[in-house]
Structure 1
Amino acid sequence: MDDVMALLERLEDELESGNNLPFTSKTMINREQCLELIKEIRIRLPDDFKQAQVVVAEKNSIIADAQRQAEAILQDAESQFKLMVDQHEITKKAYEQAREIISNAQKNAREIRLGANDYADEVLGRLDAYVSRLLDDIRKDRAELKKGHHQS
């Protein structure tokens, strides 16, 4: 493309350097030189156009590839975000379940302790009643022994 630009500048110089014809707006130029420059431009333009088309195609390919990469990055980021949200929800639910399990375990332990205390109190109450009856029987038996011993 630089060659074509240089040739166009030479053509422009040739046209500007022509001699003006007196009393007209016409200019005398070197016709052969101008035609030769135009011919050279025509020869080189298709190659430059082809090269420009290749550059444009490469640019379009690079842009399309960049867009595909951007889409892939965006989709990956979206997937990562969803995964993190899902993991956050799973973690949150796990903590909630853990708190519920601990709370239930503490409640059950409290109930077991209270039940054990009640049971122990009940057993001790029965033992107390039994021992009291036994002690009453022992006292009665002793009292009878003493009565019988004094009467003999």
Structure 2
Amino acid sequence: MSKIEQIITEIEEYIDGCKYQPLSSTKITVNKDEIEELLAELRLKIPDEIKKYQKIIVNKNAILNDANEKADEIIRQANSMTAELVSEHEIMQKAYIQANEIVQNATNQAQEILDDATHEANSVKVAAMQYTDDMLANLQNLMTHMLNGVGGRYEELMRSLNENLSIVTSNREELYPEDEVEEDDYDNLAILDEDIEDLEEYEDEDISINLD
């Protein structure tokens, strides 16, 4: 409660406590000195209260002005940020488009290089296959010629091997314990060893063949 309100309350209480005049229900008898004292006190307090309220009003206006300034600053920053975001979005879009173009160009170049390399590799492969086929054909002819030339020399050796093989096979079918093996078996094995040595010597011979 303010000072003014407190003094007004005291005046109201004082009036309520005064006695009515005789034969009247609306008029009262007051003490002049007391009422003047209360009014004087009220008069003294009014300037202080007015100053207080004026100060409050000034402070209120200052607070409102400060709030308005802060609100304006917030709005300004928001507008600035919005503009920056729009600008950044446009920049990002342009960068994204440029990046896609670079990737697409690189992909096209890589595909072109791959196609050229594949074509060249296929050409080399065909040439290599043809060269290999020619070499194999020459080798085939050479081997056929060699077989035809040495076939007669092997016939006698093969016949001897077959004879000894038959003997060895027969001996295995009639296998005896090791301490009972007959001397003929050892002779047959010796003959087989000689035939194998003859075959190895023949394989070691130099054969001169013209590949042209």
User: What's the TM-score once normalised by structure 1's chain length?
Assistant: 0.69
Partner of 2:174: none
Report the equivalent of 2:148: none
Look up the match of 1:83. Answer: 84
1:109 aligned partner = 110
Q: C-alpha displacement at 1:116, in angstroms? A: 6.0
1:108 Cα deviation from its structure 2 partner: 2.9
Q: Please, which moves more after superposition, 81-90 or 95-104?
A: 81-90
Q: Distance in 2 between matches of 1:73 and 1:34?
A: 56
Indicate the SS of the match to 1:22: coil
Residue of structure 2 equivalent to 1:70: 71
Distance 2:70 2:98 in 1: 41
1:31-51 CA-to-partner distances (Å, cap 9, x unmatched) read 221121111111110121012
Which whole-Å CA distance do the structure 1 matches of 2:54 and 2:3 have between them?
Answer: 17
RMSD: 2.8
User: Residue type matched to 1:90 in 2?
Assistant: I
Instruction: Return the alpha-carbon distance in structure 1 between the equivalents of residues 60 and 30 of structure 2.
Output: 42
- Count of aligned residue pairs for this structure pair: 127
**Does the aligned pair in 2 maintain the 1:20–1:28 contact within 8 Å?**
yes
- Structure 2 alignment gaps of length 5 or more: 128-212
Q: Deviations over 1:62-83 (max 9, x none)?
A: 1110110121122112212321
What code does the residue aligned with 1:41 have? L
Distance 2:95 2:3 in 1: 73
Alignment TM-score, normalising by the size of structure 2? 0.52
String of CA shifts for 1:112-146, please: whole Å, max 9, x gaps. 4445666x49x97xxx8xxxxxxxxxxxxxxxxxx
CA contact 1:14–1:30 (8 Å) conserved in 2 = no
Q: Give the aligned residue type for 1:43.
A: L
> Separation in 1 of the partners of 2:100 and 2:23?
106
Unaligned runs of 5+ in 1: 129-152
Partner of 2:154: none
User: 1:7, 1:41 within 8 Å by CA — same for their partners in 2?
Assistant: yes
> Shift in Å at residue 85 of structure 1?
2.6
Alignment of 1:17 with 2:17, yes or no, is yes
SS at 2:22 equivalent = coil
| Structure 2 SS opposite 1:23 | coil
Residues 71-104 of structure 1: CA distance to partner in whole angstroms, max 9, x if unpaired? 1122112212321232122112211210111112
Q: Computing the radius of gyration over CA atoms, which structure comes out larger, 1 or 2?
A: 2
